[in-house]
Amino acid sequence: MSTANTMRAMRVHDAGGRFVLDTIPKPDLLRPTDVLVSVKASGVVPNLRNVMSHYGDRAYLTVPDLPAIYGLDAAGVVAEVGSAVTGLSRGDRVYINPGRSCGSCHACRIGEPINCEAFTFQGYFGFGPKSKNIYRQYPYGGFCEFATAPADGLVKLPDAVSFETAARFGYLGTAYSGLRKAGVGAGRTVLIVGATGTLGLGAVQIARAMGAIKILCVARNEAVLAKVKALDPQRISTFSYGTGSLADWARQETGGTGVDAVVDAIGPGSPHQVTLDAMASLRRGGKLVEIGSMTDPLPIVMHEMMCSQISIIGSVWFSVAEGQDLAHMAAAGTLDLDVFDHHRYQLDQANEALSDAEKRASGFVNVVIVQ
């Protein structure tokens, strides 16, 4: 049981990845620009167990030292602000963007913190050995009662966005940033690969909000594809991969031109042919943005890309500003985030929540720990 100076946390103590309920000291603010957040909801990432297994000899990601508090996407209420914090007050509803950077490397100095050599997801994993220092500063993921974060890492939430929905912002923000890099907007067409998944469904909803005139949705599950099409039958067309030529279908849907953009949201383990077929759907000058971590090596003819002026862009995560955009769009009613089926679990049910998330039922399911 927690007290005024302690809190409950579900921590991982070994590489087996099982969560254990512990009572630990309540966090102190490390610096005057930090904020203490009372966590109300945290997203559960289906891939979390794979990340937690990368301790020891198999490690290729930088993971926090054990015991560790995971939980990538946390949302809650500001409980305390540092003496130098402005623009935030106790009681404010916020989402913690977990992307942390060092603030002083070359990338940070030129305004590209996501490209920081120490870039780290608070409550998840880091991209290099320098992430260890970030973990020491911000060791609290969302699977606990309180978490600290820098004030400039918070997105203020309108009342229109529930804490459960905000716990989906990691996926939504990643999709939004990818769509922006692809140039999606009014008058543009976009093909979304993996449109029934967690990333893909978010991309569909955000592409609608951004004004895309035609949204081509590709996946294998025809039943879930039908649910996606029902979101906006006038603008959404669907294709069950494996039932014909994806490129031919995309060109038929766009008057023979091809799509302006492809957002590839398929995950690790998918065959590269899906991505190649999506690339063949692009018009001259089109862009493919990778957000889904497809790991199968991709054979590309560079001469063909050059002649067609095709761009392939990698996009990881999103900025606090992009997260704030999503919050504003939801508040304005242009972005519909009421499509999710929230599967709610209590903090001490983190193991059960992860097992549920690993089923990957569809992008409509949002597994979340609530407090």
Q: What is the pLDDT of residues 229-252, one digit of tens each?
A: 999 999 999 999 999 999 999 999
Three-class SS state of 307: helix
pLDDT at 58: 46
CA 230 from chain center: how many Å?
Answer: 24
Q: What does CATH list as the number for 171-314?
A: 3.90.180.10
As a whole number, mean pLDDT of residues 133-138 equals 95
**Do 6-168+340-370 and 171-314 show the same overall fold?**
yes
pTM of the model: 0.96
Is 134 in contact with 123 (CB distance < 8 Å)?
A: no
Fold of 6-168+340-370: Quinone Oxidoreductase; Chain A, domain 1 (3.90.180)
Q: What is the pLDDT of residues 267-291, one digit of tens each?
A: 888 889 999 999 999 999 999 999 9
E-only strand ranges, the chain = 6-12, 19-25, 34-43, 68-69, 74-81, 93-96, 99-100, 120-121, 146-150, 154-156, 189-193, 214-219, 236-240, 259-264, 282-290, 311-314, 341-345, 365-370
Look at residue 112 and tell me whether its pLDDT is greater than 90. Answer: yes
- pLDDT averaged over every residue in the chain: 95
Instruction: Name the residue ranges covered by the structural domains of the chain.
Output: 6-168+340-370, 171-314
Q: What is the pLDDT of residues 197-235, one digit of tens each?
A: 999 999 999 999 999 999 999 999 999 999 999 999 999
Look at residue 60 and tell me whether its pLDDT is greater than 90. Answer: no
